[in-house]
Every structure is written in C-alpha cells, then in structure tokens.
Structure 1
Amino acid sequence: MSNPTVYMWPKVSEYNKYSELLTKSIEENGLQVEHYDTKNTLKPAKGDIVHMHWPSYSYQASNFPLTIVKSLLFAGLLLFLKVRGVRLFWTVHNIWPHSTGKSKWNYMMRKFILSVCNKGFVMSETVKQEVIETFGVSADKLIVTPHGHYVDAYVGKGTDIRKRFGIPPEQFLFLFIGRINPYKGIEKLVEAFLSVKSDSVGLLIAGKVDDGYKLDYIDPINDGRIKVYPHFVDDHELVDYLRAGNVMVLPYNQITTSGSAILALSHYKPVVAPKLGSLSEYVSEGCGILYDPADPDGLCKALAMSVNMNMNEVEKHISKKLAELDWQGIAGKMIKVYTGTKRYEVNA
C-alpha cells in the first residue's frame, strides 16, 4: 500500500514560514506534500490527508450573505472529502480569526470543522484546554504539537538597521516587528515605553499597518526615542531588524500562539509579553519576561526589568527551548497522527 499524500492548505504562505517549514520536515520524513487549493479541490483520494491551517479565509467573505454562501460551500467540501475517505486535520493557530474575532458564526463554523476533522492540532497544553472549553470537544480529539523554531529560516542582507534609523549603537533597543493592528497592543507599548524616562533606551516599531488602523497618535507624543517604520519588512531584512534589537516586545491584547515570539527566540532575543495563550509555554523561565495583562503597570515594569537581564543566562535558556521546538520531532509526531498510529504520544 502506497503512502498517503498530504495536501497542505496552504503549503506556502507569503506572511508566515510555518507551513513551508512544516512541509519540508514532513517531506524529509517520507511523505509527499502538495499545495491544496481550488485547482486540485477534488484531487485527494481515500486515505490521503488534507491539513488546514487558517480555514476562516475559506468561509469568510466581505459581507454576511456571501459569508453564508461561502461557508455552505466550504462545509459541503469538507463533508464530501470526509465521505470520500480523506482524513481531515486542522492546526488551530487561533481560537478566533484575527479579522472578525469572536462571533456566533465563527463559533458555529469552527465547532463544525473540529467535528468533521479526524484530529485537531494545537500548539500548547494551554491552547488545548481553551479549545476544549470553548468548543466542547473531547480531549482526545486534540494533539499538542509545538510550533517549530525559525532557526536558519531567514537570511539577512547585512543592513545596519540602527544606522538607517539613527539609533545609537550603545542604546538599549526595544523592538516590535510584525503586522500592526488593534490586537497587537501598540498603544500600550508606546505609553509604557514613554514612562521609562531614560535616554539610554529606544523603541523601534516596524511592520505593515492593517487598513483602518493608524499610528498617527505617536508623533505628537514622541520624545525622539521612538522610531516607526510602518511598512512590510521584507524577509531578507527581517534578520537585520532582529539583530538591531536587544529585546522583542509583544504587548498583545489577545493571542493564541505567537510566531513572532518564536521568531525572536530563534535569534536569541528575549521576549517581553503578557501571560496570554501559550506564551508561558514558549517564553518559559529565563527566555524573557511575562507580565500580568491585568496589571496596568505590568508592561512598564517588564520593560524596566528586561534592561537588566543577564544575556548569557538568557541564551542558555533559549538554547534549551529551541531544542524542544525541533521540526523533525514535530513532523514525526504529526505523521503518526495522520496515519492513525496509536504510538504518537512522543516528546516533540
């Protein structure tokens, strides 16, 4: 009997290397992986795998009537694949879609997706419990497979980012990098940073700003220590930005799993973030500072504490964490789940 084909949905994403790195590791473990899209909607056969990552893009539309139509077509496709003998899987990257958030429709669709999937993958025990409580699924429906690291996933150009923005080489630099939208908590970051009265620290905010969101509130209150680059950061310069910063600050208002935190750790940058979602399982002791999001001074205190971290000790803790996030182990565990092997409870 031939091995099943894995149809990754998507195999590659322009915004995130997660799917690409996972695909590479699965292929190195012996399974063929194809990109799943409208061109091969009906191609998966009995025993094949369809692995979804961000299904909201497949059932949401610009208005509710179209969303209903799109959702019905999407649900029909999943049921067709199920009847055909295709094994369905979903990695729950987010409890709720960032674009539309919590809603009755999203609840209904995501509960349905979990019901038709053979298994759901989650990236931490914390998220597993949240999915169980939110959607009422059984614990054995969900398999914890960590988010792999980004070590060597990006190659820099060698650009001197500090020189580009006029940031002194001796200044301790807090860095935020990534797409900028309401849930990222940039307002709180700016407010907390400005409360740290020291010319020896700076803040660089870089990333594409989502439509409808503005950063113009920063200019009137900027004391000169904040640099803003409100544009997409090319993959080839991502490493250069990370090298420029001392600490990655991710002041999320809400989060399930943070690829940005893992990206920072992959480049040995400690992370300052709230205790939300799975962050406490990735930014474990010694890898950064997690603060209580309910504490109005939590972020400010965390910024101040991070300046005094022992970076040699931080690197030791991060090295240990990265070893836990090895892609080969993650892919090996996932393949066992794909194929229905009972022996998938391994450390990955």
Structure 2
Amino acid sequence: MPVVLLPHPPNGNIYIRELGRAYAALGWTPIYGAENLLEGNLRPDLLHLHWPEEFYRWRGEGSLTARAEHFLMRLHALRETGVRMIWTVHNLAPHDVADASVDAQVYRAVIDSVDAIHHHCNCSIQALADRYAIPAALPRFVRPHGHYFSYPNDVGREAARCELGIPLDARVFLQFGQIRGYKGLGLLLKAFDGLELPRKFLLVAGLYNPPTGPGAWRERARLAWRKRTDKRLLVHGRAIDSDRIQVYMNAADCVVLSHTAGLNSGVAVLGMSFGRSVIGPRLGCIGETLGEENNFTYPAGDVAALKDAMLAAAQSPNLPARGESNRRICESWQWTAIAAAALDAAELSG
C-alpha cells in the first residue's frame, strides 16, 4: 500500500487522526509523527503538512533558526527524492508570536516546496496570496474542514448542566478550546457584561495559556477574581478530555467565538457538529464557514456587535432548529473528500 506521512501526532489534534483514517479508507497507509520527518525515518509516497511551526517552534534542540533550517533541509531532501507534498493552510503565521520573521521565511519555503495547497475556504486563497508570493502555476483546492461526529455524544442537556452545576433555565454561551490571547476572552467578557439578558451564563472551557508581558498579571488577577465571585461565569481552564467535550457542548445553548485574529476555527465546526448555533467573527474562514442562515456573525473585535449577536442568538425562537441544521450541513464535510482531493492534486489518485 502507498504511504502518506502526516508528520503530526494523531492524539493531539483529532484533525490529524480523522484525516489519517480517511487516507486509510482510500487504500493508503498513514504514518504519523514529526520524528519521521525530522529524522528521515522513511520515504513516503506523499507528505501532507499542516502546521509548519510544529517542527521548529514546538520541538527540537538548538536555536529557533537552526531548528527551522533543519526542517527545511528535510523538506528539500524529500523533494529531491521525488516525494509529492501537500500543505493544508490552517494559519497564515503561528499564533501569539511577537517576532514572526523566521516563520515568514519558513512559510515561503513551504509554499515553494509543495505540489499543491489545500484551503478550507475560498477567502483563505486570497488571504495567503496577500501575505506571500504564490506561484501562478501552483495548484490550489478548497475542501471544508471535516466534521467532528467521531466524538461521543450521548449526554443530554439536563444531565450535562447538572454535572457542571449550571441552572437548567440559564441562557448558556460556551467558549471552548485553548484560552489564548487571539481568542479574545477579554472581548467576550466585556460583551457578556454589557448583555442585558435574564439568566445569562458564560461557560469557558479549555487549556488556559496565561498572558505574559507587561501588565499581564493584572489580566490574570482579574480573571481569577471573577472565577471566584461571578456566579454567572464558570471557567474550566484545563484541557478537556475527548469524551468530556459532549458535556460542555450539550450544556450550552450556543457556542461563541471571540477571535480577534486568525484564519480558521475547528471550534466553529465542532459546535456545528454537536448541533449548536455558533456566534463568530467575520474573520478569515470563520465567517465563510458559519454563514448567516443558522449562525450569528459580527465584525471581529467589535464588543458592541458581539453583544448584539449574543442577544440575537439568545432571543432567536428557533435556535435548536438552527443548530440541527448546522449538524446536517456538517454531514457533507467528509474527511475523505479532503484526502481524495489531496491525492488528485498530487497526481497520486490513479
């Protein structure tokens, strides 16, 4: 069987596991792990990259520049042996990085190395082209982010709220996923505070990455104080196990994203997969993924607009129906569609 190398951990981001299973369904053997790329452990038939920064920012020895150079050397070595390469664009640059000069060089080199680029939405094509020089002859294709139906989903709304200690009659907004600077938790808290809605409740769940830098201690202290004193706020600032995601999703009336930067959001697709309506910014692929029929979008970074979107969602008479429509839409977002399109673009589908 032909081999596809997905040089990322399958147990870190479920995206990689699901895509690997899709390749397997098409008759390919998926191999995982950054070490198989960085150490040159095998020569695959296809290399499918996702987050370039993983190979020099998240691991390795030596300086950042040395690690980046080693990663690009391994790409060049595989390229020289005729390995076909695909890159899925998740970000235009790593999140929350003060100096992205090395990343810009790496991203440009990745673009020059791959045989095709996969985007999750149409606006991603232009966003990447606005930032980097894209060869005119380089194939590009669009396939939506795959659904998240593989997560367990058998805990009902009442049981989920009882477990979390949330009143059954509360209007619950959920922010889910890693709590990082660009996710805009401060923006969301301001919008929530200004929201005039009886029985409002904000649930925040995900690994907390505390802010750093001058004055960051004040933000950490404010959040710690609110966690202890605000009965309308519940923060679980830790990684959520995969079998527990359903508890948070099913306790919520809707999912809210408050990103101030970024291109894609797996949480938007996660909320839709769980049959929830999603509030999100018109930012990159997020707005294009959500659309306006079942979800509520607003200009990124606008506190008043976010507050209005939250109020519109809470007052919507058909919010559950919107969420169910989202779930049906996700049924067409198949992982095998991404794998099949990647093989076609790499001229390996024969």
TM over 0.5: yes
2:314 paired residue among 304, 307, 322: 307
Question: Aligned residue for 2:288?
Answer: 281
Q: Which amino acid aligns with 1:4?
A: P
Question: Aligned residue for 1:174?
Answer: 173
1:334 paired residue among 339, 342, 346: 342
Cα pair 2:276 2:324 within 8 Å, conserved? no
Cα pair 1:275 1:293 within 8 Å, conserved? yes
Question: Aligned residue for 1:133?
Answer: 130
The alignment partner of 1:115 has SS state of helix
Cα pair 1:274 1:293 within 8 Å, conserved? yes
Equivalent-residue separation in structure 2 for 1:279 and 1:143 (angstroms): 18
1:248 paired residue among 246, 249, 255: 255
Q: Which amino acid aligns with 2:345?
A: V
Question: Aligned residue for 1:12?
Answer: 10
Question: Aligned residue for 2:216?
Answer: none
Cα pair 1:289 1:302 within 8 Å, conserved? yes
Q: Aligned pair count? A: 338
The alignment partner of 2:331 has SS state of helix
The alignment partner of 2:63 has SS state of helix
Equivalent-residue separation in structure 2 for 1:91 and 1:172 (angstroms): 37
Cα pair 1:265 1:322 within 8 Å, conserved? yes
Shift in CA distance, 267/161, structure 1 to aligned 2, threshold 3 Å: same
TM superposition shift of 1:157: 6.7
1:226 paired residue among 228, 233, 243: 233
Shift in CA distance, 225/316, structure 1 to aligned 2, threshold 3 Å: closer
Q: Which amino acid aligns with 1:330?
A: I
Cα pair 2:93 2:103 within 8 Å, conserved? yes
Cα pair 2:282 2:288 within 8 Å, conserved? no
Superposed, 1:53-68 pairs within 5 Å as: 53-60=50-57, 66-68=63-65
The alignment partner of 2:283 has SS state of coil
Shift in CA distance, 97/194, structure 1 to aligned 2, threshold 3 Å: same
Equivalent-residue separation in structure 2 for 1:112 and 1:176 (angstroms): 35
Question: Aligned residue for 2:222?
Answer: 217
Shift in CA distance, 200/61, structure 1 to aligned 2, threshold 3 Å: closer
Shift in CA distance, 63/188, structure 1 to aligned 2, threshold 3 Å: farther
Cα pair 2:143 2:337 within 8 Å, conserved? no
Q: Which amino acid aligns with 1:217?
A: R
Q: TM-score w.r.t. structure 2 length?
A: 0.88
| Structural RMSD (CA) | 2.6
TM superposition shift of 1:161: 3.8
Cα deviation per residue 1:8-64 (whole Å; 9 max; x = unaligned)?
A: 1125142x200100110111011111124325643444x711111111121237999
Superposed, 1:122-201 pairs within 5 Å as: 122-138=119-135, 140-155=138-153, 160-201=159-200
The more displaced of 270-279 and 51-60 is 51-60
Cα deviation per residue 1:109-165 (whole Å; 9 max; x = unaligned)?
A: 101111011112111111111111111103543221221000133356779442244
Q: TM-score w.r.t. structure 1 length?
A: 0.88
Cα deviation per residue 1:89-116 (whole Å; 9 max; x = unaligned)?
A: 2111111111426622211110111101
The more displaced of 68-77 and 47-56 is 47-56
Question: Aligned residue for 2:215?
Answer: none
Q: Which amino acid aligns with 1:168?
A: P
TM superposition shift of 1:301: 0.5
Which structure 1 segments of 5+ residues have no match? 343-348
Shift in CA distance, 157/236, structure 1 to aligned 2, threshold 3 Å: farther
The alignment partner of 1:7 has SS state of strand
Equivalent-residue separation in structure 1 for 2:321 and 2:240 (angstroms): 30
Cα pair 1:265 1:287 within 8 Å, conserved? no
Cα pair 1:156 1:236 within 8 Å, conserved? no
Equivalent-residue separation in structure 1 for 2:146 and 2:98 (angstroms): 25
- Could you say which structure has the greater relative contact order, defined with CA pairs below 8 angstroms and 6 or more residues apart? 2
Superposed, 1:202-213 pairs within 5 Å as: 202-212=201-211
Question: Aligned residue for 1:30?
Answer: 27
